[in-house]
């Protein structure tokens, strides 16, 4: 689960369904891998409510991204009934969004459309919602070499990993979230890595 400031998804942030960005404060990095961590042009929006924050929830304090798979509708419904209940907005000014990718199952895609029409809390982009694309959806994680997803010396030729935020929960300001998003274009894609990308670690930003 990732939490970020509501300002990231304000109406003025989007233009024709695309996130507007600036080139300010962006450093140029040379990537040894020609596959980007995040390509904004390859991941266009299929479902996005540009007025989600500015009109539906104008006093929003905290926007929560709850990570689920496309087919996990029951998981999303459980969140909606408990800590993600929309009625909590009145007291705590928090709202939950569910980021999703796409699937080649047309019936499932139709169900997602229906779910969005019913609840209005889904955002969807054009990348396949698979485990290997979890880096795109929720940025991957760095593990030791003897764990489930080892990182080879070719991928990262250093003896130790840099410091990074560990865990599945992040609290970011809208400003910091925007900087991380912009820098992701210059990062190497390690699909099996996670906290380093989300916490802005230069492991991904090879000069």
Burial of 74 (0-12, 13-18, 19+ CB in 10 A): exposed
Would you say residue 94 lies in a domain? yes
pLDDT in the model for residue 67 = 83
Tell me whether strands 18-19 and 14-15 are parallel, antiparallel or unpaired. antiparallel
Would you say residue 146 lies in a domain? yes
pLDDT in the model for residue 104 = 86
pLDDT in the model for residue 55 = 85
pLDDT in the model for residue 49 = 82
Instruction: Please say whether the beta carbons of 5 and 170 come within 8 A.
Output: no
Give the integer Cα–Cα distance in Å for 26 and 48: 26
- The beta strand positions in 72-151, using DSSP E, are 94-102, 122-128
Count CB neighbours of 195 within 10 A.
Answer: 19
Would you say residue 30 lies in a domain? yes
Would you say residue 204 lies in a domain? no
Would you say residue 181 lies in a domain? yes
Count CB neighbours of 139 within 10 A.
Answer: 24
pLDDT in the model for residue 125 = 80
pLDDT in the model for residue 27 = 35
45: nearest Cα among 126, 150, 129: 126
pLDDT in the model for residue 196 = 44
CA dihedral of 120, 56, 50, 12, whole degrees rounded to 10 = -160
In sequence order, the 6+-apart residues with CB closer than 8 A to the CB of 15 are: none
Residues of the chain with pLDDT under 50: 1-41, 139-147, 191-207
Full domain range(s) for residue 74: 2-198
Six token digits for residue 136: 């795109």
How many domains is the chain built from? Answer: 1
Count CB neighbours of 14 within 10 A.
Answer: 17
Six token digits for residue 120: 């209005």
Would you say residue 18 lies in a domain? yes
Phi and psi torsions of 188, nearest 5°? -75, 135
User: Which region holds residue 53: left if phi is over 0, alpha if psi is between -120 and 50, else beta?
Assistant: alpha
pLDDT in the model for residue 113 = 92
pLDDT in the model for residue 116 = 93
Burial of 142 (0-12, 13-18, 19+ CB in 10 A): buried
Give the integer Cα–Cα distance in Å for 36 and 30: 11
Query: 92-136: per-residue pLDDT in tens?
Result: 999 998 988 888 888 999 999 999 999 999 988 877 666 555 555
Would you say residue 14 lies in a domain? yes
């Amino acid at each position: 689960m990732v939490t970020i400031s509501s300002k990231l998804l304000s109406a003025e942030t989007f233009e024709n369904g695309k996130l507007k960005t600036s080139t300010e404060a962006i450093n140029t990095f040379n990537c040894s891998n020609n596959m980007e961590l995040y390509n904004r042009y390859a991941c266009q929006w299929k479902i996005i409510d540009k007025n989600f924050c500015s009109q539906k929830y104008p006093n929003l304090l905290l926007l929560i991204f709850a990570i689920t798979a496309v087919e996990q509708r029951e998981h999303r419904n459980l969140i909606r009934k408990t800590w993600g209940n929309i009625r909590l907005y009145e007291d705590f000014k928090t709202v939950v969004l569910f980021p999703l990718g796409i699937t080649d199952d047309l019936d499932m895609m139709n169900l997602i459309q229906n779910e969005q029409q019913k609840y209005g809390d889904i955002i969807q982009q054009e990348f396949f919602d698979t485990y290997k694309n979890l880096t795109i959806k929720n940025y991957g994680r760095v593990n030791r070499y003897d764990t489930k997803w080892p990182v080879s010396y070719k991928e990262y030729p250093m003896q130790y990993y840099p410091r990074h935020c560990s865990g599945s929960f992040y609290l970011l300001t809208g400003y910091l979230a925007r900087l991380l998003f912009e820098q992701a274009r210059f990062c190497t894609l390690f699909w099996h890595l996670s906290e380093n990308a989300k916490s802005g670690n230069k492991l991904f930003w090879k000069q």
